[in-house]
Amino acid sequence: MKQLKNITLEISAKAFKDNSVRTMEEVCARMFRQWKNMTDSAERISVLLWISDGSEILEYKGKRNESFEWAYWQGVANVRVKSEMQNGARPTIHQVPWKYIENPPVLTYAWLKKLVKTLKRIGREESGKVVRGGATFDPGPEFAVSEFKYKKHPEICGGNTMGNKSFVTCNTSLHADRGKYAGFPDGIPGGTPFGAFLGKQVKHFVKDMGFDYIWFSNGFGFGLEAWGYKGSLFDGERFMPEKARTISEDILNFWECFARECPNLPIETRGSNFSAGLEICKDGVPIRDIYEKFKPIPPVNSPWAALNDDFGTEIAGWMSHIAELPSNYYQYRFYTHDPWFLNSPWLDRYQREAHDIYMLLGVSRINGEGDVENPSSIAFLTVDDSWGNMPEKVPNEVIPHVLCAYNDRPDRPGIITLVYPFDEYSEVLKNERGEPGKIFAEEWFLKEAINAGLPLNTVISSANFIRLVENGHEHKLAGGAVIMPTSAAKGRLLKAVKSYARKGGNVIFYGTLNGADEELLDLIGAEAVGNEIAGELKCEIKAGLDIARTDAGARKIYHSANISAGGIREVLVPGKNKHFRTKALACVGRGNEKRVIGLVRTRNTSRSGKIIWLRPVNSVKDEWFSPCDAGTFFNAGNLTRYALEEIGIRIAFEKHFFSQKNPMLVITRHKNGFFYSGYCPDTTVRQSFRMPWGAPVFTGMEAEVSDGCGVYQFPKSWHKECRIFMEQKENGIISVREGTALYPAFKRRIKLQGLKKADVTFFPEAGFEQNTEISLGAGYLKGERLKTKLSKTVEGDLIKINKISGNLLISW
């Protein structure tokens, strides 16, 4: 396996249940031994220490023997929202925090300095590798009691994420303070920018304690409201682009102040829970400027998948943050334990299922040369739990999945590649007349499409896409489709997209056509010229694939105009661009007003790709952005998956009720094979797949072949190799089993059983294309060897065999 650059082990101070040197050394040694099978795969190890909440940095006076408040609580240490408890009700840890042990030890800065030194020494002894130490700063009220944030300097708390003035915001300044601090021995002058204060404090703290980098937690530096859909520029109903310049300048000023006072210190980031586009449009975050000027490690994937099953936000958000990189480095993070809130996601939230490992490590980016780049660092939050324990079963169970997923990592684009307009989105708020509502609508629609089963796992920035096409390398993205928002489809980007389509690439646009470029309207064949309609609407889905056995499905849809770039105005324009044939995929209406929300256009030449357009119809039912009931209202996120049928890809679900949650999946390309990884919120849902070569048959599984599809019922999580696709008129049961090699000449042998006059397509493993043998018959030692021909296609090298009945043995 290719060696990773870095493995980060995150640990809280709870693991050190007393302040003795003996305990310190025992815990450090246990951690490195438990995770050795993982750290062996990396060039270096980092240890990120969750000691307090960052207040140990803010309060630091340079006195080593001084003690500090630390995170010995379970729950919210600084409760900001008073909630009434009913008579006899047991309080939760969000209402009343609890000490994790009866008498937590007293910790001093001298102890912390000793800990960092001990971690590096023992880590080197156990692993033979360089070990870095990371300090953490969290802006919220959760981890440790903070007198600095909430009593001495509440003016720095401008965020209302967990109650009024509950989060430190980076755009604030401090009141005068006569106290002595490491960076301000004569006190803090009134009006000192928080960035300058934090920078000076961090500079002294990391030097004195021996830390090598700083981690900005929970959205700090990437907006003023890290967890909410509302923000500085969006009140839930109205966007305020006129505020963008001031907010962006304030955020950028924080980074400039911090870097000025604490230069050259590596910064790693958590980011918000949202995509770069949402951070830009609702919070005014100048993310491109932050990347270019200060080069932090980009935000990691959000833990929201574990917390609320929102894989769409996690996947789309992470792809948006890695589309462009400040440096050639990005990090995947897995949520093993929560040391603060009495949950260990691997054991409870994930139910010891590995979907958030396989799906997320199936995500990759494409650089400007057209090469696939995967994360070069993997982090684990955390190695200890809320009781300070380090159960062996967690690393023992998690590590094999992570190693397997990384071994099967992408080496070419997936079947759909997101062209992410990092530059175009960054430009929107430079003009006070910019339209952030369009970005919000597009980003919301994309994450809903992923949650509805769109297998999206590859991203390329718009700048790199333009570079590829203009250099004549668009073939590196061939074999599927690109998907991109309409708001960015103009100028050089639109020209590149049209060139890609003319050369056979399929393109999926999503977004409103209101105010769209005339050249784009001509390409799509629709315009936003009707009166706006919104709210509850009738819908006609002409491309529906899913089936519910006990209900007919929703015949209506709910359009929330506030998060969908206004009401729906789009209509088909007959005869527009006569080089295309146009077909509607979905329409909505009220009374005599009818609008189109999805269409496909096919150019009158066989060599060109198809053009698909989908209008975001985002549906929420209240001010908290709760989703509408899927049994009552059709979820427009399904339309993107339905539209794949137009390019030969079917992914369909069979349920008891339409209100059941959809499975989610990614399809990764590795060594010329297809690796399907998925998550089933509801394991009673059956899944049907078809690709342009036929029904996929997964190695080690049986498929019910029905109407040209492979039909499966999966467990909660799954990760399956597919190298075989087959087509046959007769329905039946097909299986692929791994066999023993038996011959020294072979690495692997797999057996395909149950064929009935089938056409079989096999994708040989890269490097073994010329050494693949295919035999007809049941035995491993004998059979009729078939003459085969290797074909080179844009989707990869393949072997096709027609009209086969019985069994095939494939060896290589």
Question: pLDDT value at position 594?
Answer: 96
Question: pLDDT value at position 780?
Answer: 61
Question: pLDDT value at position 779?
Answer: 66
Question: pLDDT value at position 90?
Answer: 78
Q: Are strands 709-712 and 686-690 parallel, antiparallel or unpaired?
A: antiparallel
Spatial contact of 323 and 636, defined as CB atoms under 8 Å apart: no
Residue 783 pLDDT exceeds 80: no
Question: pLDDT value at position 228?
Answer: 86
Q: What is the pTM of this model?
A: 0.96
Taking the mean position of all CA atoms in its chain, how far away is CA 754?
38
Domain formed by 416-648, architecture: 3-Layer(aba) Sandwich (3.40)
Element (H, E) at 25: helix 21-34
Mean pLDDT of 581-596: 95
Maximum distance among all Cα pairs of the chain, rounded to whole angstroms: 90
Question: pLDDT value at position 704?
Answer: 97
Q: What is the dihedral of CA 617, 623, 628, 633, to 10 degrees?
A: -50
| pLDDT band at residue 162 using 50, 70 and 90 as cut-offs | confident
Residue 166 pLDDT exceeds 70: yes
The encoded tokens of residue 367 equal 């650089």
Amino acid at 549: R
Nearest to 651 by CA among 661, 660, 640: 640
Q: Are strands 611-614 and 506-510 parallel, antiparallel or unpaired?
A: parallel
Residue 485 pLDDT exceeds 70: yes
Mean pLDDT of 674-700: 97
CATH node for 4-407: 3.20.20
| pLDDT band at residue 757 using 50, 70 and 90 as cut-offs | very high
Question: pLDDT value at position 88?
Answer: 65
Apex CA 211: angle with CA 206 and CA 212, to 5°?
A: 110
Positive or negative, the Cα torsion across 75, 77, 79, 84?
A: positive
Question: pLDDT value at position 781?
Answer: 61
Residue 290 pLDDT exceeds 90: yes
Q: Mention every residue, 6+ apart, whose C-beta is less than 8 A from residue 724.
A: 696, 697, 699, 736, 750, 752, 760, 761, 762, 763, 810
Q: Mention every residue, 6+ apart, whose C-beta is less than 8 A from residue 707.
A: 731
pLDDT tens figures, 706-723: 999 999 999 999 999 999
Question: pLDDT value at position 95?
Answer: 87
SS3 450: helix
pLDDT tens figures, 249-271: 999 999 999 999 999 999 999 99
Question: pLDDT value at position 226?
Answer: 75
Question: pLDDT value at position 87?
Answer: 65
Element (H, E) at 192: strand 192-193
The Cα 87–Cα 307 span in angstroms is 29
Q: Mention every residue, 6+ apart, whose C-beta is less than 8 A from residue 2.
A: none
Question: pLDDT value at position 83?
Answer: 64
Spatial contact of 682 and 575, defined as CB atoms under 8 Å apart: no
Residue 123 pLDDT exceeds 80: yes
The encoded tokens of residue 383 equal 């190695």
Q: Mention every residue, 6+ apart, whose C-beta is less than 8 A from residue 462.
A: 419, 420, 421, 422, 423, 424, 484, 488, 493
Question: pLDDT value at position 304?
Answer: 82
Q: In percent, how much of the chain has pLDDT > 90?
A: 87
Mean pLDDT of 453-474: 97
| pLDDT band at residue 417 using 50, 70 and 90 as cut-offs | very high
Fold equal for 4-407 and 416-648: no
Mean pLDDT for the chain? 95
| pLDDT band at residue 460 using 50, 70 and 90 as cut-offs | very high
Mean pLDDT of 262-283: 96
Mean pLDDT of 765-779: 89
Positive or negative, the Cα torsion across 797, 799, 802, 807?
A: negative
Q: Are strands 664-670 and 709-712 parallel, antiparallel or unpaired?
A: unpaired
Domain ranges of the chain: 4-407, 416-648, 669-811
| pLDDT band at residue 1 using 50, 70 and 90 as cut-offs | low
DSSP assignment of 56-70: HHHT--S-TT-B---
Q: Which of 345-349, 409-413, 548-552 has the lowest mean pLDDT?
A: 548-552
pLDDT tens figures, 597-631: 999 999 877 778 999 999 999 999 988 899 998 88
Amino acid at 35: W
pLDDT tens figures, 63-108: 999 999 999 999 999 987 766 655 667 788 888 999 999 999 999 9
Question: pLDDT value at position 778?
Answer: 61
3-state class percentages of the chain: helix first, strand second, coil last, to nearest 5: 25, 30, 45
Beta strands in 591-645 (DSSP E): 593-603, 611-614
Apex CA 220: angle with CA 13 and CA 130, to 5°?
A: 50
Question: pLDDT value at position 84?
Answer: 62
Positive or negative, the Cα torsion across 710, 457, 268, 221?
A: negative
Prior bond of 382 cis (ω within 30°): yes
Phi-psi region of 754 (alpha: psi -120 to 50; beta: other; left: phi over 0): left
Question: pLDDT value at position 664?
Answer: 97
Question: pLDDT value at position 383?
Answer: 98
| CB atoms inside a 10 Å sphere around CB 802 | 10
The Cα 437–Cα 561 span in angstroms is 10
pLDDT tens figures, 728-746: 999 999 999 999 988 888 9
pLDDT tens figures, 553-575: 778 999 999 999 999 999 999 87
| pLDDT band at residue 420 using 50, 70 and 90 as cut-offs | very high
